[in-house]
Amino acid sequence: MYSDRINALPPYLFAAIDEARDELIARGVDVIDLGVGDPDLPTPQHIVEALRKAVCDPRTHHYPSYAGMMEFRKAAAEWCKEYKGIELDPATEVLSLIGSKEAVAHVPIAFVNPGDVVLYTDPGYPVYKIGTIFAGGEPYPLPLKAENNFLPDLDSIPLDVLRRAKIFFFNYPNNPTAATADLEFFEKAVEFCKKYDIIAVHDNAYSQMTYDGYISPSFLAAKGAMDVGIELYSHSKTYNMTGWRLGFAVGNRDLIQGLGKVKSNIDSGVFDAIQIAGIVALRSPQTCVEETSKIYEERRNALIEGLKAMGLEVKPPKATFYIWAPVPKGFTSIGFAKLLLEEAGIVATPGVGFGEAGEGYVRFALTKPVDRINEAVERMKRLKI
């Protein structure tokens, strides 16, 4: 019944954990869900108010423009200049997105022919691989290892793969490892993409979720990056707007145009009222972002202390709201996630669900208040491992 494309999808590895979680909840167990990467905090009020006003204006009720409102693209370009130090032409180098997920899925449709290889970091956001499969491409995982600070080893890719490679997806600050990359790595990535004629797609969904004064660089700030790539930004995590579906792509104009061509044939753009609220988010003082980061920082510290007390050595990440923790000796990632759930009522995501190289880790999302995280820590300390 299904297409080969659907039949080629990898199995959903979280199904067993989801089922066990739902069963525990149904039995009345007080489950602490640190599984999903969806902020528990509300969208800041000034953004909600902007939507409330915009939605009452009938001019927003029509089909939006495919590329996005010019004012939204201008606001995105100004934001990129102010916070990332990059210059963009809003008319040709910025495109509005219905969240960054659709761009990850649509980029391969724009640029990949059957048999082309798409390089992506593993463990990683599953859509890099699935978008590639949907476009008839061949996904090629680049393992992220602790000994390389969770950066891919670009020198390890065989030449026959590089010759067929069309796209390189990467993502720093990284989901799920919480690793960050500096400009030096991005410059290396530019050189690599130029040498092998590969399109760079930097997924920067967590760009503003940073701690301890760390500022994450834009890939496009690397010399020559505008020649080879695009970068994806999202309102989802920056402004607690996951449900609103809003983001933007920036970078090389031919690549932006290619992505726009796919989108204009598949979707009809972002609801204007949401773009208007998105402009307010981008142009207002970013105090709400700083306040949110402070909250996650406190949660991060609480969980890291707890994991340390259990003998699990995890360095506090500088960015993202994830903790990527190695599982205790003798466990697989699924086995440890199961133990956490069944013995402590804690949901964590098994690392292998993000790709083979995620084996040996679990991901905790800091999406519960600090008292619940402390409660999770107390429960974990009581585990016999």
Ligand X SMILES: Cc1ncc(COP(=O)(O)O)c(C=O)c1O
Residues of the shown chain interacting with ligand X in the complex, contacts defined by CB under 6 A? 37, 99-101, 104, 125, 171, 175, 203, 205, 234, 236, 242, 247
Report d(CA 170, CA 34) in Å as an integer. Answer: 24
Q: Which is nearer to ligand X, 101 or 166 (CB)?
A: 101
Q: Name the minimum Å distance from CB 103 to ligand X.
A: 8
Q: Which is nearer to ligand X, 250 or 377 (CB)?
A: 250
Which structure tokens are listed for 244? 């609103």
Least separation in angstroms between CB 113 and ligand X: 24
Q: Where are the beta strands (DSSP E) in the chain?
A: 32-33, 94-97, 117-122, 138-143, 165-170, 199-203, 229-234, 247-251, 322-326, 346-347, 349-350, 361-365
Report in angstroms how near the CB of residue 357 gets to ligand X at its nearest: 15
Toward ligand X, which CB reaches closer, 96 or 333?
Answer: 96
> How near is the Cβ of 125 to ligand X at its closest, in Å?
4
Given the complex with ligand X, which of 90 and 247 has the nearer CB atom? 247
Q: Which is nearer to ligand X, 174 or 252 (CB)?
A: 174
* 3-state DSSP of 215-244: CCCCHHHCCCHHHHEEEEEEHHHHCCCHHH
Residue nearest to ligand X (CB): 99
Q: How far is the CB of 102 from ligand X (least distance, A)?
A: 7
Calpha distance 296→368 (Å, rounded)? 9
Q: Cβ distance 321 to 209 under 8 Å?
A: yes
- Interhelix angle for 100-111 vs 253-266, to 10°? 100
